[in-house]
Homo-oligomer: A and B are copies of this chain.
């Protein structure tokens, strides 16, 4: 054995993440400095968004043959129709509008050692669909159109660090899906890359510890979806001292495979394989004009009963984006989602109840979702999703995490969900084969690979790790 071969550096990385998670007051940036910087960036990023009729879109239009809404270059994204057959839910056949964006973008967080502590380079970034304009974003959030210059805008800062990465500098790099009811087979490359001391934070950027990000996750609509999904792909922090009776200790034990799990990982993988094998879902892109039960007006494409979402158009005036002013379509969900993970201590080890969920836009039909993920407005009392009533009837002392968080503001208009982690002490899903209790280390193991956990579950994994 010589020095040619690399041994696992995982334990060292886990220790560094643990230290960064403990630095809740910051090192490079104090929490007070962060808030001052963030308030200043919110003021600086002028961003005016106005609903417009479709015929005021510039560069975008409806294809005369298909009715699909797209950009004249064929880039960015297209709103098309999708015919869906099969699945596991009460409705087994439908058509719907959906966003097609086959290009794979990069969502990347650069990390750097500052004062011996790992810091993440976060960006204050305005997006047209955000309820509050500016949110905290990854270092880089680039579509292929961005980095090939289809915008005609400036180069994306820091992107070079994610395009050619030296061996040993990648902490995470995995393709993950996004909302499978709104996007058709959209994936982004989730990356965490370590950079050297020569990398400084530009005016829209700020170095924060993992611990600071954990605190900021609890602030409504602050840490954006892209930042949350990248954070979820980080390895677990080293569990540290496993003692203690509080929930934080149960999370620490859940990060450590030596404490065991209710189901072996082989059995969990077998359950997922069985779901993929059993559930037949056939999805076929169709012209948007062939979608049934949806109507197009001057201002919106909407479901005739007002359910689900609308497609709308906006005019954006900004001064800090790649281009100063543009128009674009956005998908506007109706109602605020309820996205909840039930957790339970089993032998002192925290387990989370995940649901094998079918969505038509997933590359492979089934991904693991939070226990409950729905917009209650879309359901009557009779066809409520399983366990929703348990979530809506939660007692305050059961709630470990509760924040309203936004979905991606570059595609969605005011899309928000109430993200909850709720502790239970019994088995609410007995006899249901579409649910399983997994430990945090099992979830983290799955997150090294593509398409196991959906984007909502990934947010809640990031939130789980923030419990203290």
Contact with B along A257-286 (1 / 0, CB 8 A): 111111111110110011011001010000
Task: State whether the Cβ of A174 lies closer than 8 Å to any Cβ in chain B.
Answer: yes
CB-based contact B7/A277 at 8 Å: no
Q: Give every chain B residue within 8 A of A348 (Cβ-Cβ).
A: 1
Please measure, in the bound complex, the distance between the C-alpha atom of A412 and the C-alpha atom of B163, giving whole angstroms: 42
Find residues 335-352 in chain A having any chain B CB closer than 8 Å to their own CB.
346-349
How many monomers of this protein are in the complex?
2
Expressed in whole angstroms, the minimum distance between the Cβ of A125 and any Cβ of chain B is 22
CB-based contact A170/B270 at 8 Å: yes
Contact with B along A145-178 (1 / 0, CB 8 A): 0000000000000000000010110111111000
Task: State whether the Cβ of A40 lies closer than 8 Å to any Cβ in chain B.
Answer: no
Task: State whether the Cβ of A6 lies closer than 8 Å to any Cβ in chain B.
Answer: yes
Indicate whether A347 sits within 8 Å of B263 (C-beta atoms), given known contacts A175-B276, A363-B363.
no
Q: Give every chain B residue within 8 A of A1 (Cβ-Cβ).
A: 259-260, 347-348
Chain A, interface size: which category?
35 or more
Q: A5 is contacted by which of B4, B172, B259, B282 (Cβ under 8 Å)? A: B259
CB closest chain-B residue, reference A10: B266
Q: In this complex, which of A106, A165, A170, A363 has the most chain B Cβ atoms within 10 angstroms of its Cβ?
A: A170
Q: Give every chain B residue within 8 A of A103 (Cβ-Cβ).
A: 280
CB-based contact A270/B165 at 8 Å: yes
CB-based contact B267/A170 at 8 Å: yes
Indicate whether A173 sits within 8 Å of B274 (C-beta atoms), given known contacts A346-B4, A347-B5, A449-B449.
yes
Chain A interface residues toward B at CB < 8 A: 1-2, 4-9, 102-104, 106, 165, 167-168, 170-175, 189, 191, 257-267, 269-270, 273-274, 276-277, 280, 282, 346-349, 363-364, 448-450
CB closest chain-B residue, reference A262: B5
Please measure, in the bound complex, the distance between the C-alpha atom of A347 and the C-alpha atom of B4, giving whole angstroms: 7
Q: A260 is contacted by which of B7, B170, B262, B269 (Cβ under 8 Å)? A: B7
Please measure, in the bound complex, the distance between the C-alpha atom of A154 and the C-alpha atom of B307, giving whole angstroms: 48
CB-based contact B260/A5 at 8 Å: yes
Please measure, in the bound complex, the distance between the C-alpha atom of A158 and the C-alpha atom of B61, giving whole angstroms: 58
Indicate whether A6 sits within 8 Å of B260 (C-beta atoms), given known contacts A170-B270, A266-B170, A269-B173.
yes
Q: A264 is contacted by which of B8, B189, B269, B282 (Cβ under 8 Å)? A: B8
Expressed in whole angstroms, the minimum distance between the Cβ of A169 and any Cβ of chain B is 9
CB-based contact A277/B448 at 8 Å: no
Please measure, in the bound complex, the distance between the C-alpha atom of A349 and the C-alpha atom of B102, giving whole angstroms: 40
Expressed in whole angstroms, the minimum distance between the Cβ of A194 and any Cβ of chain B is 11
CB closest chain-B residue, reference A3: B347
CB closest chain-B residue, reference A257: B8
Please measure, in the bound complex, the distance between the C-alpha atom of A280 and the C-alpha atom of B187, giving whole angstroms: 13
Q: Give every chain B residue within 8 A of A258 (Cβ-Cβ).
A: 7
For the complex with contacts A5-B261, A173-B269, 12 further pairs of A-B residues with Cβ separation under 8 Å are A4-B262, A5-B349, A6-B262, A8-B257, A103-B280, A167-B264, A167-B267, A170-B270, A173-B273, A191-B270, A269-B448, A269-B449
CB closest chain-B residue, reference A167: B267
Expressed in whole angstroms, the minimum distance between the Cβ of A78 and any Cβ of chain B is 14
